Amino acid sequence: MEEIITSIQNWQVIRNQPDLLIELFSHNLGFELDVSQFPPKKPLHAYAAIKNGEFGFYVISEVNDIESPDEVLSSNCYWCPCVNAFTNPQEIPQAVAISRVNSWRNNYREWINEVVNTPFGMYEIFYIPTEGLKRERYMALFALKNNDITPTSLEADLVLVNNSGVCYDTIHGEPPYRDKPKYYILNLI
């Protein structure tokens, strides 16, 4: 568990440093997520982390992100390193997914410079509902979407794409937190 905590703390150190974030994201498009590793139909928590200099996410099911012995927590956390090339639960049209991913690719530098100056800064976690997702591998692509409250501003997003090219989106970057007590690992940081 110590390595997981240290890796998440490493992200905490840089999450409001735009130059470092831009460099990290310039080489990474997302990460692979194997939903079959987790309990079915339960939300996932993807904690941004820097492990041994590599950017990625520790993913744990919400049912396991609770007060537990370190060995139980660590055995339920899966390291998902970011990747820059890909192999080939709300479904969204492919055009919308492509638009959001392209919005990320075209705007991430400016968006990072803006978001680090907001009260919440860069995200710490992605909340990933799994209702409607098959128990298979997905590519979780970094994306930006219009903010529901302020449609002219953009917010962090992940678009999940399965091997058939079907795209899903129900994901929330946090903070701001909708239910912070559900993120037990944050208490360990």
pLDDT in tens, the chain (189 residues): 999 999 999 999 999 999 999 999 988 889 999 999 999 999 999 999 999 999 999 999 999 999 999 999 999 999 999 987 544 445 567 788 888 888 888 999 999 999 999 888 899 999 999 988 999 999 999 998 887 666 557 888 999 988 888 888 778 889 888 888 899 999 898
CA distance 40 to 33: 14
Per-residue pLDDT, 37: 96
Per-residue pLDDT, 112: 93
Per-residue pLDDT, 86: 46
86 Cβ neighbours under 8 A, 6+ residues apart? 29, 30, 32, 139, 141
Give the residue from 180, 167, 103, 115 showing the smallest Cα distance to 138. 167
Q: What is each CA distance from 106 to 26, 83, 138, 160, 183, in whole angstroms? A: 11, 18, 23, 19, 31
Residue ranges per domain, the chain? Answer: 2-187
CA distance 105 to 154: 13
Per-residue pLDDT, 91: 58
Whole-model pTM?
Answer: 0.89
Nearest 5°: the CA angle 32, 38, 44 is 70
Give the residue from 169, 171, 160, 133 showing the smallest Cα distance to 36. 133
Per-residue pLDDT, 89: 46
Per-residue pLDDT, 92: 66
> Residues 21, 23, 28, 30: what is their CA dihedral angle, to the nearest 10 degrees?
10
> What is the CB neighbour count within 10 angstroms for residue 152?
6
163 Cβ neighbours under 8 A, 6+ residues apart? 88, 136, 137
